[in-house]
């Protein structure tokens, strides 16, 4: 039985979302990397052109946020359709085991179905066995043959400096 409800995030949830992002980063051993400000999150989630969307898991007795899922659309050239990338899924430790994570993922799957998204993808740290086991129990396929690549900081800037000509800013979202 799931204790609580899942709802779309609202502007008033920004402080809770930011706090849970920091809790997730600490759990993932990367607390110093969670630098997003409330202002950045407000713009990303509720600005004129949202970059991402979020759901909140609430405790039914207290009405407090006990978890969140933050996602954004992606596009597959292979299927020619949009999909969903789940950036964060987090349930606070005291609320784990109550079905909130499963309810968040089920709600996201429903968003995929409603929007015709053919893929729902996310990353999981290879050492996070409880999460891996949970995802497998839901039927998720782990794509072990793929490696995540990332450019940031100085290497990103250095590569950008090599661009042959300035890009038209209207070509980016």
The residues that are catalytic are 135
Cα 165 to the center of its chain, rounded Å: 33
C-alpha angle 10/13/17, rounded to 5°? 125
* Helix, strand, coil abundance in the chain, percent, nearest 5: 40, 20, 40
Closest CA to 122 of 139, 102, 142: 142
DSSP structural state of residue 119: -
Burial of 132-162, coded b for 16+ CB within 10 Å and e otherwise, reads: eebbeeeeeeeeeeeeeeeeeeeeeeeeeee
Q: Which residue has the tokens 């009405």?
A: 63
């Amino acid at each position: 039985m799931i204790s609580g409800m899942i709802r779309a995030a609202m502007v008033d949830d920004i402080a809770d979302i930011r706090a849970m992002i920091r809790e997730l980063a600490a759990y993932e051993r990367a607390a110093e990397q969670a630098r997003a400000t409330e202002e950045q999150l407000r713009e990303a989630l509720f600005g004129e052109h949202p970059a991402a969307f979020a759901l909140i898991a609430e405790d039914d007795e207290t009405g407090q946020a006990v978890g969140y899922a933050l996602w954004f659309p992606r596009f597959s050239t292979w299927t020619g359709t949009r999909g969903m990338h789940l950036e964060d899924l987090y349930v606070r430790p005291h609320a784990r085991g109550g079905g909130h994570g499963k309810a968040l993922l089920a709600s996201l799957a429903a968003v995929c179905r409603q929007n015709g998204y053919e893929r729902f993808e996310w990353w999981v740290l290879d050492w996070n066995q409880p999460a891996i086991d949970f995802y497998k129990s839901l039927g998720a396929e782990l794509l072990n043959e793929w490696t995540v690549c990332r450019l940031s900081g100085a290497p990103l800037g250095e590569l950008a400096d090599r661009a042959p000509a300035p890009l038209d800013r209207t070509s980016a979202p």
